[in-house]
Chain A
Amino acid sequence: MAYVATRGGARAIEQSQRLFRAEMGTITPERVAEVRRALPYLVDRVMGEASLYDADLAALALAQTGGELHEAVLLLRAWRTTQPRLTVADPVLQQDLFTHRRISAAFKDIPGGQILGPTLDYSHRILMTEVLSGAAQTPDPVDAAAISAPAQHPSVAAWQAENGLLSAAEPDTRCGNDIPDITREPLLFPAQRAHRLQSLARADTGGVLALGYAAQRGYGQAHPTVNELRLAEAEVIVQHPRGTRFSAGRVKVSQAEVVAKTGSDLRLGFAATLGWNEVKVIAAATLDLNAKGAPKGSATEEEFFLYHTEGVEASGFCIHFKLPHYVTFQSSLDAMRDAKARDQAKNQARAAETAQATREAEPTP
């Protein structure tokens, strides 16, 4: 009776949570600070999926859930729900981003240059097992470049648009509270572009990767070329009630532009998210690229991929199957048993009929 406890539901719940938390021990501010310092990419991923930029809260969510990612994202989203909306920041423009890393696969070199920035792309994936035997690994200091890269860059797509290679999307001029907001409005289809990009920005990294990869591998119509991948920091410019515009701080952002040839034009797919998460934005931009004209119900059609990459909804529904379902099960059993009984009765009647017919056909001695 531990599952649907007789009258002890509340106590059982309490004890099950204690069991879960016992394994993680005491959560201290130091632990939270260490999670934030040691796992910036995990913190970024969680902030992106939660659509809430606060590294301390994200680290706390990770510490509190023992790294159960979907739980951590849900904690942050539930916290986000309760927060007042003070103001809407100015749009972030690509050319204003403080850029750390920016690469293009479409051209050997691009205006502003290829900037490798922080990456493990060309590292050899060898475990530092010596750390376990006591040899701490301190990274070698970074040598500054002779000429430092410019902090700001125009987008590659802007150059292509200038050269008539790409028809840029119509800019959405809505601003402030008129900007569609997926967290305050239902998602309906065909989705507004703002809703689609917001959903992708909040989407589960694994989910977006799975469907984006499917599109890349051949289930999509368009093969993406990474026009530009960028890791940057964006100023959050807001207006003070007295009228002054000021930066409330910087947030890390990632964005990807992917392009594919359609007829004599390039088609652009775009994605951006809070935090640095390259796999997610490349996969998400691939989905955006493929969405136009995708057959209804295919994995590259927006209704399909937006619903199924929503990590909080997907994980919640998946684990809800643990809840008791014995009423619905009982209801199905009832229909099943009745159908079986009818089937049996029919077979018996048929057998009896056949026996009767055989008897009648036999010649009488």
Chain B
Amino acid sequence: MSLKSLTRDWQPMSFGFLDASAKREIRRTSLKAIAVPGCQIPYASREVPMARGWGTGGLQVSCTLITPRTRIKVIDQGADDSVNAASIRRFLARVSGAPTTMDTLEADLIQSRHRIPEEVLQDHQVLVLQVPNPEPLRPVEPNMSLARQMHADADYGRMWLQLYEQIVRSGRVMQGASYPSLVNGRYVMTPSPIPRWDVPKLHMARHLTLLSAGREKRLFAVPPFTRVEPLVFEDVPYRVEDHAGLSCARSGARGFFMNEIPQADGSSSYEISDSELGVKSIRQRDNETVTIGDTWYKNGEMAG
């Protein structure tokens, strides 16, 4: 036995880009985050060859979890072909040799910005959400250190007050995306800026969701089968976007989250936001054989 047989040849870049110490830190942080659902765990957050705010948090988690056999899917605003998603997918494939896919059903690891796919994720799948601002209390407390103390005390009074004031002023909760949600009955988290449409998909889900903010250096998780409850008052129910009745102008699919495309005549047309589900729907319409998985929403209604 020689030293050479025990070691690998020198390589200009580590597998998965990050070095072993960085990956170890992410793994430990992820385990903590899973152990305390919804709690923001600080981590060093190394610099990666992408600008901060462009998915560096999600990228570090993906780089840590990836193996040469992990099938990866990357989406931005629901689209696989968005330029930044394409750039991240190319980077992940380049540093790991991992295969890529656009099909939600085939993916082992899905890195996403602002959307959860419409097809139900299974227990072997991991969803990595890119998080610009991990702090749901930011609108009521911009100082991270004070917000951290408020989480420790489960001091969410100002959060509730903010929601109440919105109802008083505007007749409804005005929160758009990133709807604050209580995880496992303890920590309020921001589900990252996914639309309200997607938040119920996290509740008691079979898959693991890791949410990582690279610039703000915080990682949190929703483990499988964990309660995720949007903050609502008993007499004012949670409302997702009013998209149930819209249909996609290109694929004809109906009852999913849509992108609104303004038209020159002043009207609006709609396209399905989950681009791959759109592609599948078009192919199905054209009588090709495609497998569309079980979807969280059926006829525009979240399946109970």
Contact = CB atoms under 8 A, between A and B. Distances in A.
Interface of A: 3-10, 12-13, 74-75, 77-78, 80-82, 84, 183-190, 296-297, 303-304, 307, 312-313, 315-320, 323-336, 338-339, 342-343, 346
7 contacts: A9-B82, A78-B50, A304-B143, A312-B52, A328-B114, A328-B195, A330-B257
Interface string B44-70: 111111111110100000000000000
B215 interface: yes
B177 A81 contact: no
Given A316-B215, A317-B52, A327-B273, A183 B46 contact: yes
B77 interface: yes
B259 A330 contact: yes
B174 A188 contact: no
A338 B52 CA distance: 34
Interface string B177-205: 11000000000000001111100000000
Nearest to B194: A327
Contact of B193 (A9, A184, A327): A327
B81 A9 contact: yes
A10 B79 contact: no
Contact of A334 (B53, B87, B241): B241
B165 to A, nearest CB: 13
Interface of B: 13-14, 17-19, 21-22, 25, 42-54, 56, 76-79, 81-87, 90, 113-115, 132, 142-146, 170-178, 193-197, 215, 217, 241-243, 257-260, 273
Given A82-B13, A327-B177, A186 B45 contact: yes
Given A82-B14, A330-B195, A331-B196, A189 B81 contact: no
B274 to A, nearest CB: 11
Contacts of B90: 10, 13
Contacts of B174: 335-336, 339
B47 A328 contact: no
B47 A303 contact: no
A interface, by DSSP: helix, strand, loop or mixed? helix
B87 to A, nearest CB: 6
Nearest to B218: A186
Contacts of B177: 327-328, 331-332
Name which of B19, B52, B260 has the most chain A CB atoms within 10 A of its CB: B52
Contacts of A185: 44
Given A3-B83, A81-B18, A335-B174, A323 B76 contact: yes
Nearest to B179: A331
B86 A77 contact: no
A7 B81 CA distance: 6
Contact of B54 (A316, A329, A346): A316
Given A78-B47, A297-B143, A316-B53, A342 B78 contact: no
Contacts of B49: 75, 78
A264 B36 CA distance: 49
Contacts of A304: 143
A112 B136 CA distance: 55
A194 to B, nearest CB: 14
Contacts of B83: 3-5, 9, 12-13
Contacts of B145: 188-190, 296, 303
Contacts of B176: 328-329, 331-335
